[in-house]
Structure 1
Amino acid sequence: MNTMAMTGSERTISVPSGYVGYLLRMVDKQGYDVDSLLASVDISPAAIAAGEDLSAEKFGQLYQRIIWVMQDESFGMLSGGKVPNGTFRMMCYCILHCQTLEKALRRCSDFYEVCRGSVIKPVLTKRGRYAKLSFAPLDSQPAGTVESLISEEPPVSIRTSLSVWHHFLSWLVGRRLELKAVYFSFDTPEDEDHYRRLFHAEIRFNQHDNVIVFPARYLDLPLVQTEETLRGFLKTAPYQLMVMVDDAQTLKSQIVAILGKDFSREMPSADDVASKLNMSISTLRRRLLDEDTSYQKIKDECRRDAAVNYMNSPHLSINDIAALMGFDEPSAFFRSFKKWTGMTPGEYRQKSRWQDYA
């Protein structure tokens, strides 16, 4: 869903205007005042009309507001009905203490059988070295429910649903799930390249099903999230479900993907990262030097970007953010934030335009 845009020397994550327009048209069809909705999250209707992309953070605020006013957590995705607000939170609490990703996924499927709203559920299938996630009707629904639903949905809704599940699974295990392939049942769309950038995998259209395929070994991974990190995740959702890390084919982007977005846990060492990338520590350092960076600099940039994202969420106190960033003492976070941005957290929040930071 996300694309990368250049701002000076920085790369910022943005959401294509086409997807934003798709959501707003759905809101309008249900009789809600779109201009009022945009104003509530300080987005200019003129910018939307001009086809400007939205920053991922601003899009997250917009989507969060849409879910609230529509009272439907599945808005813009496959479900076949309205999913009451709070459902996703309860599902997370139900799966958080599962030992592995596989157990969590199977429990997700069971949860959908008892929650209100959706008529379909996620289904996990293992075949040899690979696993796939697709959708199936609830036990109470007739056969053909999924096919009937998909026939009425635009491709962007199906794409979003698979992308959100991909990102959610990645968040649960604290690393990006590297997909082998993604299959779609509809015809090849005009923005085919966007699908490849979004999923980083082989993409096929006109298939019999809509699925993401990934190595089965990921199913044995433990969940790294806790109730504490979940609280921060929910306060800023759906930001983490709508975007993924940098899509550039650089060593830096690979490291960013390994680091993920959960900074409450201990960061891997340079040796750990080199091992994961199947290279020596000296090769890692040399190649990063060729890209005019270092492992420490990448870690600092990732933590800075995560801190700024949290700071832009008014629901989080500065002490909450310090904890989410893995600081035992708020004072240590204050010092680091000022080092990263040139401002204290309080000064940053007092700025009338946080975008000035870029």
Structure 2
Amino acid sequence: MRYKHHSISVHFAQGIVKRAIEQGLDEEKLLHESGLSHALLNNNEVRITPEQLSRLMQSVWHSADDEYLCFGSEPSRHGVFNLMAKQVSHSASLRQVYRRGTRFYNLIAGATKLKFEEREKYARFYLQLTKPELDPEHVLIDFLLLLWHRFPSWLIGQRIPLRKIGFMHAKPAHHEEYRLMFPCEVVYQQENNYFEFEHAILSAAVVQTQQNLNDYLQRCPLDWFKRQSYFPVYTRKVLNYLETTDDMSAVSMLDLAMQLHTTIRTLRRKLLEEGTSFQELKDSVRRDEAIHYLSQPDMAISQVGRLLGFTEAATFTRAFKSWTGVAPSTYRKSKI
């Protein structure tokens, strides 16, 4: 099995569709183009694929001509990000990327105010909406902070290790998603929305070519929602192993420990120090693979279970329901 997908809380799709309807966009068109349904959107426990969220955003971008998804005080017209990306891609360093990028958007997009600040040991990127009340579920804030971390990381070919991310809003219901989106300390009810990182990485060179950039822009925003290789050392090693195995039923912690030239006890301790466990990582991979496979109507539910290492359909059903809140059959029907 080659792992290519992970899942995302339906919260983001719910917020985007709700705002689009308020702005008079065609809901049925948006759902059709994104591969979503009313049943999925109405179930708060459901998770969706990066492809579904990406297609939904692209549909809104085109329908509203607004890359801010109608959450801003004024639109950021479709194509503005591409223009900015092409300009900053000629930067010599990450420092120039942030300086040029913030200057560009402050001139072009009136719905946001960006600021880049260097301090002695770390740097901060600030983001404010001129009318935050238009983004009550914080969808645009989450999306833009994610963009301004992941796109510059891609330009320099390495993760920008975040020290902290701060939000002006209180801890939201979807706060668990932040662990995947922003692997760092998260603080709430701050004076500004921001993230900060070590000052030293500002000298990192931009390494992507113009051809790479063109390909990247063709995929946007999909790459921003796919799981990044931004995990602690042992968590990443375990995920790499799980994501490439052909037989999930045969995966054991002993095999994995031997593969990593360590002991089960040491591996368990390392994962605990990184805030996770072997079973948690295994379940997250199986959950996201299950969601992907169930999005393909030609694959029987029993076959999905077997691919993920479940010998009995009932066991797979119980596991899937514990992961998502609904049974596999219910999830599949909700997509029709």
TM-score (norm 2): 0.66
Output the aligned Cα RMSD: 3.4
Are residues 1:149 and 2:131 paired? yes
**C-alpha separation in 1, matches of 2:83 and 2:58:** 17
Contact 1:197/1:247 (<8 A) preserved = no
Contact 1:246/1:256 (<8 A) preserved = no
Match of 2:116 in 1: 124
Are residues 1:185 and 2:168 paired? yes
Unpaired segments ≥5 residues, structure 1: 1-7, 137-145, 258-282, 292-350
Contact 2:16/2:139 (<8 A) preserved = no
Q: 2:195 aligns with which of 184, 208, 212?
A: 212
Contact 1:71/1:84 (<8 A) preserved = yes
Contact 2:13/2:56 (<8 A) preserved = no
CA displacement, residues 179-215 of structure 1 (integer Å, 9 cap, x when unaligned): 0001111222233333233211111111111100111
Tell me the matched-pair count.
256
Contact 1:245/1:253 (<8 A) preserved = no
**C-alpha separation in 2, matches of 1:106 and 1:113:** 11
Q: SS of the residue aligned with 1:286?
A: coil
Q: CA deviation at 1:112?
A: 2.1
**C-alpha separation in 1, matches of 2:80 and 2:25:** 23
Match of 2:49 in 1: 55
CA displacement, residues 35-94 of structure 1 (integer Å, 9 cap, x when unaligned): 2221123333333334432111222122112111111112166x4310111111111111
**C-alpha separation in 2, matches of 1:254 and 1:95:** 33
Q: SS of the residue aligned with 1:28?
A: helix
Q: 1:169 aligns with which of 152, 162, 185?
A: 152
**C-alpha separation in 2, matches of 1:256 and 1:232:** 26
Match of 2:6 in 1: 13
Match of 1:302 in 2: none
Distance 1:192 1:47, change over 3 A: closer
Contact 1:101/1:221 (<8 A) preserved = yes
TM-score (norm 1): 0.62
Higher relative contact order (CA closer than 8 Å, sequence separation 6+): 2
Q: SS of the residue aligned with 1:88?
A: helix
Distance 1:225 1:134, change over 3 A: same
Distance 1:255 1:72, change over 3 A: farther
Match of 2:186 in 1: 203
CA displacement, residues 121-173 of structure 1 (integer Å, 9 cap, x when unaligned): 4221011110000036xxxxxxxxx5x52354323332222122111121111
Are residues 1:111 and 2:104 paired? yes
Contact 1:251/1:288 (<8 A) preserved = no
Q: SS of the residue aligned with 2:69?
A: coil
Unpaired segments ≥5 residues, structure 2: 241-257, 268-295, 308-336
Contact 1:131/1:216 (<8 A) preserved = yes
Contact 1:183/1:210 (<8 A) preserved = yes
Q: 2:215 aligns with which of 216, 232, 240?
A: 232
Q: 2:83 aligns with which of 87, 90, 98?
A: 90
Distance 1:93 1:191, change over 3 A: closer
**C-alpha separation in 1, matches of 2:37 and 2:164:** 37
